[in-house]
Every structure is written in structure tokens, then in C-alpha cells.
Structure 1
Amino acid sequence: MKTVFDTEELEPVRDLARRFAQERVAPGYMEREKSGRFDMALVREMGGLGLIAPELGEQYGGLGASHLCSGLIIEEIGKADFTFSYVSLLASLNGQILSANARPEVAEEWLPGLIAGEHLLAIALTEPKGGSDAASLGLKMERDSDAYILNGEKTSISANQVAKGVITFARTGTAEDRARGISAILVPLDLPGITTSKFSNMGQNSIGHGSIWFDNVRVPANHLLGEEGKGFVQVMQGFDFSRSLIGLQALGTARQSLDETWTYIGERRAFGKPLSAYQGITHQLADFDTRVEAARLLSLNALWLKDQGLRHTAEAAMTKWWPPLLAYEAIHACLLIHGHAGYSDALPFQQRLRDVLGLQIGDGTAHIMKNIIARERAGRTANAASEKIR
């Protein structure tokens, strides 16, 4: 369904993303997930088409495109392979942080390769004892001459096994400083003292998640992003962008499932009629179709607000908690309508269901997002508890 945000200017990029997604990405979706293998050759192909972080500047190899453009791309990739769409999500989130806060020589070293698909970057905020309380980090970062020394653990980090570097948030102040004592630094993952592990998850296994341990890891001081004590602000601003992308990432997967199911009920017959003749089936799909389109508009609007330089924190939080939940429910309904074939691993519904479920946890749970929305709408004094979150 075409919306006011699907402009003629963006249509060629979206068409290119759709062709790449359906012809190159979709065929290997389930095989990559079963094997736990991430295809970097496909990432480079995507980068060669200009489909990775197109909103970044031309000086780094980007297109200087709108944030809406990035949203439409991740939606199309999400239709083909939810997990592969993490390429778009991680590149845009980390690319934004680097382009705004890295020293020029560091940005010039890392961003062109990121945009070209030569490497991935991870982002490390979550810790074993921290979870959603992002201001209570325990990983320590201390200055030592021309370097910072890192000690501690990060966990539940996406792409920790396949990334070349990781934007890491660590404590340079005291625990009492909370958010004011957190700094950000870009850490190459081949430095001595770094070890990683990969979790065995229900889904998203091709991109993978796991822990990263830092044991006296020495990182060049010029890899500091911005100023000491400003890392918390940096990541929260970046999350307003990534949360809007996550909404479209999940909704792309839901839309693909709905489109396939609309086709299926026109072909599948029961009691002498196609399933599309039965309102018990069609009304389910009509309901989800309506809500998916509404959620898509919400997500696109958040990106449009960002393009206009307008505050969109509440809107971004809305797109983070509702679309992943809605996508899960829609895919679940599509799976059931397909009967046992949907339940089997012959069709991708079961895989999509497991993949999108993870986004009800990562990057902030629904409860955290609702706290953010309440704070934005009612004000800080009316929701003081959310201060610990943002």
C-alpha cells in the first residue's frame, strides 16, 4: 500500500532493495539460519549497490540520503530475511554514532568499509547485571597515556562473532555518576585481551548474539567517541533512529507473511471452496493487514520527523514496542492458517516467528518503551523512575 512517505524520489531505491532482497537474499534465508552462517559476500554485494547506511555522507561513500530511505531499505530486506536486515540496522546505528562523534581519522578509517559492506560493527551496551538499566554499567575504562584500558564483560551483543569492531560503552566515572560517568569508544575486535562467545538462541542465529570479555584491553585513545562522560547521551540519541528502523524491520517480515497467506487462501480449498470464501479466515488477515499498515505509518512518521530535525523520541519508542509484538502475532496467525505445513520447517513462518520474538527483548523491552513515552508525554517529574532508563 502506497503512503505519503513513499515518494517518487525514493521509489527507485526501494525497487532496487526489493529486487536484491527477493532475488539474492530470500533464497538462502532458512539455510543461513540453520547453519548459523553469515554471508559477508552478500553483505559486500549489498554495499556495492549503495544499500547500506545510505543516509551517511558522500565523503564516506554514502548517498547523503534521507532516513526514510534507510527505513524503506530495511523493510524490504526484512521481508526477505529478518536476520540479514541487521546489516542495515547495525550500519545505520553505528554509522550515525561514528560520523557524529569519531575523530576524523577514525571515521575515515572505518566508515567507508562499513558502507561498502567490507565489515560490520557491533554495539556493546548491555551487561550481565545491567539489562535495561543502561546507566549502571560496570565495565571499566581507564586512561593510560595514549590509550584506554578496558576490563569487564558485555553480553547479548548482536554480531559479536562476525563484526570487525564494536562501539563499547564503559564507565570512566564512578558508579554514583550514573549516566554522567559513561563514555563510548570504538574497539577493534582483534585486539589482545578480547574473547567472545556465541549463544544458542531460538532465532537470529546467522547474525548471532553473545558475550564479549575485555581483559586489560588497550585501545588507542583517539578511538574515544566524543568526550568522556558523554557516551550515554550519544547512544540514547542513536536509539531514536534505530528504534524506528526496528519497527520497519519487523513489519517487513510480517508483511511478507501476510502477502504469502493472502495468496495461499485463494489457492487452498476446503469443503469445495477456497479458504478466501470463509470470513473466519479473511477477517483475521484483514485485521492484521490493517494494523500492520497503521504501524508502518507510525514507523515512517518517526523517520520523517528525524529528517525534519524534529523531536521523535516518543514516536521512536512507540515503533519499538508495538511493531515487534504485532509482527509476532501476525506471523503466528499466518502460520496457523497454513496448518501443519506452517508448523513444519518446510515453510519459513516458524523461523520468522522465532526471529521477530527477539526484538521484544533487545534494544529495550515494551515496558521500557512505555516509560519513555510516558516521560515524553507527562514530563520528567511525573515519571521520575524513567530517569534510570534514559
Structure 2
Amino acid sequence: MSAGAMNPYITEELRALADMARRFATERVAPGFLARDQNRVLDRDVMREMGAMGLIAPELPEEFGGLGMSRLAAGVIHEEIARADLSISYINLLASLNGQILAAHGVPGVVAPWLRKLVAGEVLVAIALTEPRGGSDAANLRLRVERVGDDYVLNGEKTSISAADQADAAVVFGRTGSVDSGAHGVSALLVPMDLPGITRARFDCHGQRAIGRGSIFFENVRVPVNHRLGDENKGFVQVMQGFDFSRALIGLQVLAVARAALEETWDYVAGREAFGKPLSAFQGVSHPLADFDTQVAAARLLCLQTLWLKDQHLPHSAEAAMCKWWGPKLAYDVVHQCLLCFGHGGYDRGVMEQRLRDVLGFQIGDGTAQIMKTIIARARAGREAVPA
């Protein structure tokens, strides 16, 4: 069954787009899934092919190389790539997140060339927010950004950055205001990664190894003032609003992995016999899978609804936070259960155990469950009732 079958949010056009993306993912992305985990290198050829087919950030305006499509279009593509390889789907995630930031807040003459290359699959742009002293307290940044003439000078470190050592540029958040100014003293900059004074290091992570994570070090790095994104001292407040979009995409991303695992596991337990019956005849096997199938279907609808709300310019911050905390936890629990159904074969190095390692990372990065639940609580009870 295709990704859009019997779904109120998926039109015939989006269903056709999802089918096209799935064919590409099956033929070009899935075959290298295990190998990329071993060599820890993102496949740039696949990335350029994705760009040539319009599979990267199709929601961006045509003036920036996009197709002017809906956020739902980005979502259905995203989940089809993710079901083949979660690390490769980071290309879509980073392009959509950073693409909208650059398009909405950048100087057109500066960001337009980057956006066209981004959509074409020719460059990868990271998001550099987290610092060594903490990730969840994102407004309490220490990377210094000082104005010197027509440049900003950057000094400090970003850490646990996806694609840190592979990105061609990064959206970097740093402190232009006083230390005690909190979120209102943070600015965002588009920083090419080949500038003098930038060094990078890569971690040896548990999962998502093709995209990787690492640190970026800035030592007297000079960036032109016209590379600022949004107003000075307002980068966090302005630019972070775009994270609602990426949170919904992350939900679809990990749930696509869970859906693929469930499909394979249902086939396996229906065909594998024990004590003269299919494994699926035993309720201890089939009922947990039925429970998870139900939850995955509901969670996916929530993610699609969130993207629909964004397309309609309606409030969706609480829904996006729900997608971000529920999706990764549910996906991990689903893949874990599926792995157990395969027994020792699931525990061996292979597709199922790699999926388990890959989805786990999203319970840590891009906003923890606790932060997401605080966002939801504030939306329901009011910010005054749920202070920081």
C-alpha cells in the first residue's frame, strides 16, 4: 500500500509524488544502507540525484530553485527516503529546515546561490546550535559573535552537530548581546565551512553514522555582516520559529522507519512456523505488533496534520512538539519489538539493528522529550503557568 492510501491529507498528486520517491529510494538509497553505516560517508552522488529529481526542499519558492510545493509534499518525500535510510533522509531534513531559514531571514543576494545549490543537492548545510555546556538550554549560548567593521568575528565551539564534518556551510547561532540577555542576545549567521579559523572533529556515534555528528571550532572566524539571518540579537527568537516544521518532519522520518520494520515483521511472523502454527497465530506475538501498528498510524496522522496546519498558516507549535517527542520514542519501541520477533536474526548486525540504532538518536537531539512536553504545557496552560 502506498504512503498516501486512504489518507485525508494526501491528494492524488501527493500520492504520485510519494510513489516516485519510493521507487527512487528503493532503487538508489536502500542498496547502500548497510555499507554507509560502515564507511560513515554520506553519498553525494545520491544527494545530487535527489536534487535533480526535485526531491530536496520542494517547498522552497521557485526563485530559490524550489518547486513552490506544500510542506506536506516535503513530508511525503521525506518519509519515503527515511524508510530506505534514515541517515540519507537527513539531506531532506537539513535542507527543509535551513532552506526556510535562509529564504525567510537571509539577504537574498547572499542566500540565493546557496539555496539553489541546496535544492540541487550540491551542498549540505548544517544547523549549529548546541554547545558543550548544554543542549536543552539553547538560549544560553556562549559562542561569541563580535562586530568588527563589516564583519562578525566568531570564537567558540558548537558540538553534537549533525553533518559537522561533511557540511559545506552552517547556520550558526551565537551571542551578540550580553551574557545575561538570554534568547534576546542571540544572532544567527550563514557561515561557509571553508573559512579560515574553522576546524572540525567527528564523534563515533551509536547510530546515524553516515550523516555523523561532531564539533565545530571557531577561532577568530570572520563572517561578513550581510551573512546575518534575521535581526541582530533576535536570531533565536525569529529563526527558531522554523523548528516547528522540522519537528513534524522528524516525526515522519522516524515513523517511516517504524512502518518499514512493521511491514517486514508482519510478513515474517505470518510465514515463520513454530509448534505447527505461524508465529502470528500466537497472541503474544501478534498483539504487540497490532498495538504498535495502531499507534504508528495515529502518530503519522498527527505529523501530517501538523504539516497541513503549517500549510494553512495556522498555529501548530504544540502539535509539532507532540510529533517530536512521541515519534522517536514510539519508533524506537516499535523497532525494538520487531527486532525481538526476528530472534537471533534480528540481533545480528543488519537492517533491523541498524534501524534501532538510528532512531534512538532523535530521543536526544533536536529537542528532548522534556523540552517538547514543556512547549505543549505552555500552549495549553499558558506560559505564565509553566515558567522556565
* One-letter amino acid matched to 1:374: A
Instruction: From 167, 174, 177, give the equivalent of 2:171.
Output: 167
Instruction: From 184, 200, 204, give the equivalent of 2:204.
Output: 200
Q: CA deviation at 1:106?
A: 1.2
Instruction: From 120, 126, 135, give the equivalent of 1:116.
Output: 120
Rounded Cα–Cα distance in structure 2 between residues aligned with 1:226 and 1:320: 25
Q: Is the 8 A contact 2:248 2:324 kept in 1?
A: yes
Q: CA deviation at 1:61?
A: 1.4
Rounded Cα–Cα distance in structure 1 between residues aligned with 2:36 and 2:297: 29
Rounded Cα–Cα distance in structure 2 between residues aligned with 1:236 and 1:376: 16
Instruction: Give yes or no for the alignment of 1:300 onto 2:304.
Output: yes
* One-letter amino acid matched to 2:159: T
Rounded Cα–Cα distance in structure 1 between residues aligned with 2:276 and 2:48: 49
* One-letter amino acid matched to 2:137: D
Q: CA deviation at 1:357?
A: 0.3
Q: CA deviation at 1:67?
A: 0.3
Give TM-score scaled by structure 1 length.
0.97
Give TM-score scaled by structure 2 length.
0.98
Instruction: From 261, 283, 286, give the equivalent of 2:265.
Output: 261
Q: Is the 8 A contact 2:86 2:253 kept in 1?
A: yes
Deviations 1:287-332 (A, max 9, x none): 1100000000111111000000001000000000001000000000
Instruction: Give yes or no for the alignment of 1:17 onto 2:21.
Output: yes
Deviations 1:67-105 (A, max 9, x none): 011111111111100111101100000000000011011
> 1:1-390 residue pairs with structure 2 within 5 A?
2-345=6-349, 347-385=350-388
Q: Which runs of 5+ in 2 are unaligned?
A: none
Alignment root-mean-square deviation, CA: 0.8
Q: Is the 8 A contact 2:230 2:239 kept in 1?
A: no
Secondary structure of 2:191's partner?
A: strand
* One-letter amino acid matched to 1:70: A
Rounded Cα–Cα distance in structure 2 between residues aligned with 1:99 and 1:297: 28
Deviations 1:239-258 (A, max 9, x none): 10000000000000000000
Secondary structure of 2:386's partner?
A: helix
Q: Is the 8 A contact 2:105 2:239 kept in 1?
A: no
Q: CA deviation at 1:236?
A: 2.0
Q: Which runs of 5+ in 1 are unaligned?
A: 386-390
* One-letter amino acid matched to 1:135: A
Rounded Cα–Cα distance in structure 2 between residues aligned with 1:44 and 1:12: 21
Q: Give the number of aligned pairs.
A: 384
Rounded Cα–Cα distance in structure 2 between residues aligned with 1:305 and 1:229: 29
* One-letter amino acid matched to 1:373: I
Q: CA deviation at 1:2?
A: 2.6
Q: Is the 8 A contact 1:97 1:234 kept in 2?
A: no
